[in-house]
A = this chain, B = another copy of it.
Amino acid sequence: MSDGALWSALADPHRRAIVALLLERPRPVGEIVEACGLSQPSTSKHLKVLREAGLVRVRQDAQRRVYALDPAPIAELDAWLAPYRKLWNRSLDALGRRLDETAPDDPEED
């Protein structure tokens, strides 16, 4: 049960957006600034939080700093989730899926 830093890092929607961006490919800060519509300092601060949570790594390329996802903490999340996944598998089973309360699946994030 190491870090609450992981959870609090992902609690912010902007940071989740950054993480989603980095899922596609590694990006320099400038790209992230542009994509998120945040100011550069704000973006740098969010990146610092993500860095300290271990969620991203930085590679230096001349003046640019290219950020990339580090998969390990996500695995930690997955491990945390495991017991609960059992639970909802069980209850889905119990429901017998006769109740379709939310059929449409929307992957929209924030």
Contacts and interface: CB of A to CB of B under 8 A. Distances in A.
A46 B96 CA distance: 32
Copies in the complex: 2
Contact of A2 (B78, B85, B110): B110
A23 interface: yes
A2 B78 CA distance: 19
B69 A74 contact: no
Interface in A62-110: 69, 71-72, 74-75, 77-81, 83-85, 87-88, 90-92, 105-110
Interface residues of A, number: 34
A90 B74 CA distance: 13
A81 B74 contact: yes
A51 interface: no
B84 A109 contact: no
Interface of A: 2, 4, 7-8, 10-11, 13, 16, 19, 23, 69, 71-72, 74-75, 77-81, 83-85, 87-88, 90-92, 105-110
